[in-house]
Structure 1
Amino acid sequence: MVNHAKAPLDPNPVLRPGVRRREALGWAMFDFANSGYTTVVITAIYGAYFVSVVAGGTTWATLAWTAALAFSNLLVLLSAPVLGAWADVHAGKKRLAALTTIGCVLTTAALGWIGPGSVVLALALLVLSNAFFSSGGNLVAAFLPELARPQRLGTLSGWGWGLGYIGGLLCLALCLAYIHWAQARGHTASEFVPVTLFITAALFALTALPFFIWVRERALPQPKSGVSAWAQVAKTWRESARFQDMRRFLICIVFYQAGIMTVIALAAIYAQEVMGFDTAQTVMMIFVVNITAAIGALGFGYLQDRIGPVRGIALTLLGWIAMVLVAWSSETAASFWLAANLAGLCLGASQSAGRALVGYLAPDAQRAEFFGLWGLAVMLASIVGPLTYGLVTWLTGGDHRTAMLVTGLYFVIGLVLLRGVNAERGYRAAQTVR
């Protein structure tokens, strides 16, 4: 006799058993909260403001900006293994995330007090705020495999990135409204840009609260390994020969993220120096780009779960290569807007897909450690990519177009390396570790 009774539907096919929906929302809200920092400080407003106002438009201003970001990311690279190891031993990801959030909020607000000519102090605060921001992002990312089922990491990661771009939109909208109000009253950039930093800091502090209130720390304290954090990283890297797909993907990340981080750090500067955009035009462009980035992150999470993470990332890298070619050849505002929105779609999709694939390939017992390696790869990319751009502009006497073309090479190399990654093989290898 055939039993035609249907199996009960899974009440939540995305989240792990015991994970409440509000925890997933709280986790995604951290992306919503911290995206204002990247959008305003790194991408849309403060970078161009630093080059043109704080540093007075000198020929070395772009190189100084990229060098400061590189140094900040070097600090994150050096500290990430220590933070990851401490978090594993003490099950303390959430506590460390709270400290880094407070640090980023305070140093972002402090940037608002920096006036024209205070180059050294501005760069010092940039280094600190970016280090706090990046460290916090790494710690929060390590919660992803604790919340989502292995095959649905892309979906939840996409929710996070999508909400992140919505958060960036809200922050930019508030800043843009204030900028228009201030410009209508004759205020200069040195008067209205600092207020946008206060807005960004306040919004970060307020909207990060759901993460700290709702998300549980499920990790259990791990025994100390008896070796230093960096020695443990070296040991993990040597042992990662068993996880050949994770290792190859981490190397791939260094290259394609070098291109992504360059676009994030230099987009406003390129718009200002090459296309002649003013602050309001640049902010409006980044505002629209955040919409396309949110669409890319939210929609691509589902597409990635259907076609697989490797194919998904490959598709985004092809999009990035096309974006670089369009931006490099742009002579009109319309073609540059096309390049910018193509970058937005690729940005949301590739960031979400990359984080999800790391979670998919990471052994359960070493999540924080492997997300620490992911953080190292991203930080190394954040050093190499923008610094390459800054050096090219300096060596070519300010030729931003050539620097943009060089950036495209990082996406090409990443695409080549990605061909050797097999996600299912890597997942099976990770499940052998208990």
Structure 2
Amino acid sequence: MTDTAAPRPESPAPLREIIAWAFYDFANSGYTTVVLTTIYSAYFVGVVAAGLEAEHPGTATLLWTLAIGAANLVVLVSGPVIGAISDVRASKKRFLLVSSVLCISTTALLAGAEPGQVAPALLLLCLSAIAFALGENLIAAFLPEIARSDNMGRISGYGWSLGYFGGLLTLGCCLGYIQYSEASGLGADHYVPVCLLITALIFALTATPTFVWLRERAQPRTLPPGQGYVAAGLGQVASTLQHASRLPDLFRFLICIVLFQAGVSTVVVLAAIYAQEVMNFDSQQLIVLIMLVNLTAALGAFMFGFAQDRFGSVPSLAGALLVWILAIAVALQASTDADVWIAGNLIGLAMGATQAGGRGLVGQLTPPAQNGEIFGLWGLANRAAAILGPISYGVINRLGGGDHQLSLISTLTFFVLGLGLLLTVNERRGHQDAMRYH
């Protein structure tokens, strides 16, 4: 294959293009906050699968985590291949459009899954989660094309920070409709489907700048005679994995991501369920809590981008993981609403920092010719984490008869292990290895 991928830019991309790239984080964050974190996760356990939960406590939570795990397993297998194919064909933007349309449409269709229709709800949830995760991989692969190594942390932080405001916008619209519905005597079986439609609409509208202004800088590569794109993509991934010894810090950090992101993924998809089942939060309390978490997460992502470029990614990420550990410890002993609010704000600061920092560090450790492929592997690490963390929580919860605090201990363990491995990553050496890689 001829190596003609886009080189790292010597000067930053135009501001309009950086904003267009960051706006995708703004657009798809509504899906995360409404479907995975706040409204629909609690609605699924409390309404859609309420009958199963009443008969066998912990079953609805387990089904939720298994569905998320299945979706991430699909992405784990397909993500690196799609990333490699997008490198060969220089078609990241086209794949991103397809994944976005699929996520938006299945989110809208999810509104039609009524209480008791567990199987259709789980199927649509899986499809939307697959599309969302593939989009996350693809938009991240543009980062090394629009940023230099000395400002990559800041630009990644801008994206995450703007993304949290996108989640706030969607949650704010949903909260307004929920208040209107409850004042009119309408229940969750009415307003939750409408919230899903609101989420799909906002995603579609706010993703538009990305597809209008973001450029595809990579150039198509020449394939050997008789070789198709899938074979080329698989071969490229296999080659990179075979040469992992040449990029030891990158692959060590990818394993580190699996560990700490297992904890992050668990919090994302189970926070609302925990607050509802353990602390008896209602829908409006949950939304206000997550809105506040999004504000602190935006602040954390924005501040961390500067800290990462000033002090280095590894020390900054280590600090963020320590905040995660403190937040989970506070949640474990929570006995009042105030404890939950404190834990939530700590989680927000730490979440913004770890998500922005992880993507930025991978960008610095990535060889220029393998942007799509390596970010496919980054997605693989995140997807493995999204299987490992939530399913561990769900299984422990089911075996413990619905004991959410017991399940949360496994989440704390992932953060501790991730911190330990992170301290073995040499950021400067890893960047130098990436620049020498051929």
TM over 0.5, shorter chain: yes
Q: Which residue pairs with 1:292 in the alignment?
A: 296
Aligned-pair CA distance for 1:16: 4.7
Aligned partners of 2:364, 2:139: CA distance in 1, in Å?
16
Aligned partners of 2:389, 2:264: CA distance in 1, in Å?
8
Q: Which residue pairs with 1:203 in the alignment?
A: 202
Aligned-pair CA distance for 1:97: 0.2
Q: Which residue pairs with 2:46 in the alignment?
A: 52
What secondary structure does 2:199 align onto?
Answer: helix
Aligned partners of 1:382, 1:89: CA distance in 2, in Å?
28
2:20 equivalent to 1:26 = yes
Aligned-pair CA distance for 1:19: 2.0
Q: Which residue pairs with 2:85 in the alignment?
A: 86
Aligned partners of 2:236, 2:385: CA distance in 1, in Å?
22
Out of 43, 47, 54, the residue aligned to residue 37 of structure 2 is 43
Aligned partners of 1:28, 1:53: CA distance in 2, in Å?
35
Aligned-pair CA distance for 1:81: 2.0
Structure 1 gap ranges (5+): 1-13
Q: CA 1:199–1:133 in structure 2 vs 1: closer, same or farther (change >3 Å)?
A: same
Letter in structure 2 aligned against 1:238: Q
Q: Which residue pairs with 1:8 in the alignment?
A: none
Name which of structure 1's ranges 77-86 and 270-279 shifts more when overlaid on structure 2.
77-86
Q: Which residue pairs with 2:3 in the alignment?
A: none
Letter in structure 2 aligned against 1:280: Q
Out of 403, 407, 419, the residue aligned to residue 407 of structure 2 is 403
Q: Which residue pairs with 1:378 in the alignment?
A: 382
Determine if contact 2:92/2:216 at 8 Å carries over to the other structure. Answer: yes
Letter in structure 2 aligned against 1:64: L
Determine if contact 1:16/1:147 at 8 Å carries over to the other structure. Answer: no
Q: Which residue pairs with 2:274 in the alignment?
A: 270
Q: CA 1:93–1:264 in structure 2 vs 1: closer, same or farther (change >3 Å)?
A: same
Aligned partners of 2:173, 2:403: CA distance in 1, in Å?
33
User: CA offsets, 1:381-433, max 9 Å, x none?
Assistant: 00000000000100000000011111100001100101110111000111112
Determine if contact 2:262/2:386 at 8 Å carries over to the other structure. Answer: yes
Out of 248, 251, 274, the residue aligned to residue 247 of structure 1 is 251
Out of 334, 339, 345, the residue aligned to residue 335 of structure 1 is 339
Q: Which residue pairs with 2:155 in the alignment?
A: 156
Aligned-pair CA distance for 1:86: 1.4
2:319 equivalent to 1:315 = yes
User: CA offsets, 1:196-234, max 9 Å, x none?
Assistant: 000000000000000000010000112337545444323
Aligned partners of 2:320, 2:13: CA distance in 1, in Å?
31
Letter in structure 2 aligned against 1:413: L
Percent of residue pairs identical = 52
Q: CA 1:374–1:152 in structure 2 vs 1: closer, same or farther (change >3 Å)?
A: same
2:319 equivalent to 1:325 = no
User: CA offsets, 1:342-398, max 9 Å, x none?
Assistant: 000000011000000000000001111111110100000000000000001000000
Q: Which residue pairs with 1:219 in the alignment?
A: 218
Aligned-pair CA distance for 1:304: 1.0
Aligned partners of 2:113, 2:93: CA distance in 1, in Å?
31
Q: Which residue pairs with 1:107 in the alignment?
A: 106
What secondary structure does 1:150 align onto?
Answer: coil
Aligned partners of 1:306, 1:348: CA distance in 2, in Å?
17
Determine if contact 2:85/2:232 at 8 Å carries over to the other structure. Answer: no
Q: CA 1:371–1:44 in structure 2 vs 1: closer, same or farther (change >3 Å)?
A: same
Aligned partners of 1:258, 1:220: CA distance in 2, in Å?
35
Aligned partners of 2:50, 2:265: CA distance in 1, in Å?
24
Q: Which residue pairs with 1:11 in the alignment?
A: none
Q: Which residue pairs with 2:181 in the alignment?
A: 182
Letter in structure 1 aligned against 2:276: Q
Letter in structure 2 aligned against 1:335: D
Letter in structure 2 aligned against 1:19: A
Q: Which residue pairs with 1:3 in the alignment?
A: none
User: CA offsets, 1:246-270, max 9 Å, x none?
Assistant: 0100010000000000000000000
2:306 equivalent to 1:302 = yes
Q: Which residue pairs with 2:4 in the alignment?
A: none
2:261 equivalent to 1:257 = yes
Aligned partners of 2:12, 2:164: CA distance in 1, in Å?
28
What secondary structure does 1:431 align onto?
Answer: helix
Determine if contact 2:84/2:234 at 8 Å carries over to the other structure. Answer: no
User: CA offsets, 1:295-349, max 9 Å, x none?
Assistant: 0011110111111000111011111111111001100000111001100000001
Q: CA 1:286–1:15 in structure 2 vs 1: closer, same or farther (change >3 Å)?
A: farther
Aligned partners of 1:24, 1:379: CA distance in 2, in Å?
26
Letter in structure 2 aligned against 1:333: D
What secondary structure does 2:274 align onto?
Answer: helix
Q: CA 1:264–1:16 in structure 2 vs 1: closer, same or farther (change >3 Å)?
A: farther
Q: CA RMSD in A?
A: 1.3
Determine if contact 2:81/2:373 at 8 Å carries over to the other structure. Answer: no
Determine if contact 1:16/1:146 at 8 Å carries over to the other structure. Answer: no
Q: How many residues align?
A: 421
Letter in structure 1 aligned against 2:146: L
Superposition TM-score, scaled by structure 2 size: 0.94
Higher relative contact order (CA 8 A, sep 6+): 2
Determine if contact 2:223/2:232 at 8 Å carries over to the other structure. Answer: no
User: CA offsets, 1:8-34, max 9 Å, x none?
Assistant: xxxxxx985372110000000000000
Aligned partners of 1:230, 1:320: CA distance in 2, in Å?
36
